[in-house]
Amino acid sequence: MQAKIMDERQSINLVTGGTGLLGSHIVEQLVKRGRRVRALVRPNSDTSFLESLGVSLAYGDVTDKRSLMTACDGVDRVYHAAARVGDWGPWHEFVAITIDGTRNLLDAAKRTGVKRFLHISSISAYGHPNQAGLVIDESAPLGVNLHKWSYYSRAKVEAEKLVWAAHEAGDIVATVIRPSWLYGQRDRATLARLCDSIRRGKIKLVGDGNNRLNVAHAANVAEAAIAACESDAGAGEAFNCSSDGVLTQKQYFDLVARTIGEKPVTRKVPYGVAYRAAYVMEVFGHLFRRRTPPLVTRYAVWLMGRKTFFECRKARAVLGWSPTISYEVGIPQAVAALEATTEPTSNVVAQPATA
């Protein structure tokens, strides 16, 4: 066992998307385990947190093949968290970053002899079901009944196909993690909008608010990713990392509200009404080629109000993984960290963001 630990410490772990929410937590968790870490970062990125951890930085981009060859040189494991994030934007950007970027990294990993490739996908790659009582696990097919203009989800499906094709061809030993709606320290998107919406009294529960959410702390997902990438049992497998326990939509919003000293969220809007309104907003947004997202999207409505649940028993059974940060601890900590570093935003809608 000691020899294995020493070998792990000598191995180089490359993390793409290291300045993002999940990527930064993967870096942090690797450092805590004494692993050697190299983070791929763009020249204009804020790397202050990574520098505070003492990790090495490789400047480049997943769209730059030459920089990827340099970043992968001498690397044993790749944690690929970089992607075009968000539920709005032109398709060509999702293609260039999420799909072609994954293809470029797989090629660099193959050519430099990387031993393991951990790919961050998303539970939205399964599609957008909203069937009461339906529980989805890793055996479900990908890309079923995706929304029109669901570029983020479609790109995740195509990128994952590339990873599995490389694994089946023997080019790389791959593992896939499918996270859900993430939160945690260094969340620069979801929590800021959510807190501001609650303060302004603009947020509403989608449906009755009693649906169980797929929400996970980024640190918990990072721990699962490392366990999967360092385990022989994780080779060639996909794992949902989509829940830290039981949390309903209303419980989530109320816990955030209580943390910032606001009243519980009580206003509601029927799921169907919110979904149709979001579709109309999307139509106008695409018609006028708006770069900024509409007030709310169908993806956001689905993420908050869906009654389908994504199960993650496989990660617990195969990897021995269990979340170490509960909602009761993690949500107040993440909100407190946000409040300490930022001013309330001017946005009035909570647009959830995934990995």
Reported as half-sphere exposure (CB side, CA atoms, 13 A), residue 35 has a value of 27
Question: Is residue 349 predicted with pLDDT exceeding 90?
Answer: no
* pLDDT on residue 156: 97
Choice among 21-30, 92-101, 185-194, 306-315 with the minimum mean pLDDT: 185-194
Closest CA to 327 of 244, 234, 211: 244
- Which neighbouring-strand residues pair with 78? 14, 117
Q: What span, in angstroms and rounded, lies between the C-alpha atoms of 123 and 329?
A: 24
Question: Is residue 338 predicted with pLDDT exceeding 70?
Answer: yes
| pLDDT confidence tier of residue 32, bands split at 50, 70 and 90 | very high
Spatial neighbors of 7 by CB under 8 A, at least 6 apart, are none
Question: Is residue 153 predicted with pLDDT exceeding 50?
Answer: yes
* pLDDT on residue 355: 41
> What is the arithmetic mean of pLDDT over 345-349?
36
Residue 227 backbone dihedrals phi, psi, to 5 degrees: -60, -40
pLDDT in tens, 42-90: 999 999 999 999 999 999 999 999 999 999 999 999 999 999 998 899 9
Question: Is residue 317 predicted with pLDDT exceeding 60?
Answer: yes
Question: Is residue 5 predicted with pLDDT exceeding 60?
Answer: no
Pairing mode of beta strands 268-269, 215-217? unpaired
| pLDDT confidence tier of residue 315, bands split at 50, 70 and 90 | very high
> What is the arithmetic mean of pLDDT over 323-350?
77
What share of the chain has pLDDT > 90, as a percent? 85
Amino acid in the structure at residue 98: T
Question: Is residue 305 predicted with pLDDT exceeding 60?
Answer: yes
> What is the arithmetic mean of pLDDT over 117-145?
95
> What is the arithmetic mean of pLDDT over 200-220?
96
Q: Global pTM?
A: 0.92
Give residue for tokens 């070998």: 7
Greater model confidence, 53 or 350: 53
| pLDDT confidence tier of residue 190, bands split at 50, 70 and 90 | confident
Pairing mode of beta strands 205-206, 238-241? unpaired
CATH architecture observed for domain 2-188+214-244+309-324: 3-Layer(aba) Sandwich (3.40)
Q: What span, in angstroms and rounded, lies between the C-alpha atoms of 155 and 132?
A: 27
* pLDDT on residue 337: 92
Q: Name the average pLDDT for the chain.
A: 92
Closest CA to 57 of 35, 30, 27: 27
Which tokens in the block code for residue 14?
């490359």
| pLDDT confidence tier of residue 8, bands split at 50, 70 and 90 | low
| pLDDT confidence tier of residue 341, bands split at 50, 70 and 90 | confident
| Cα–Cα–Cα angle for 43, 180, 47, rounded to 5 degrees | 20
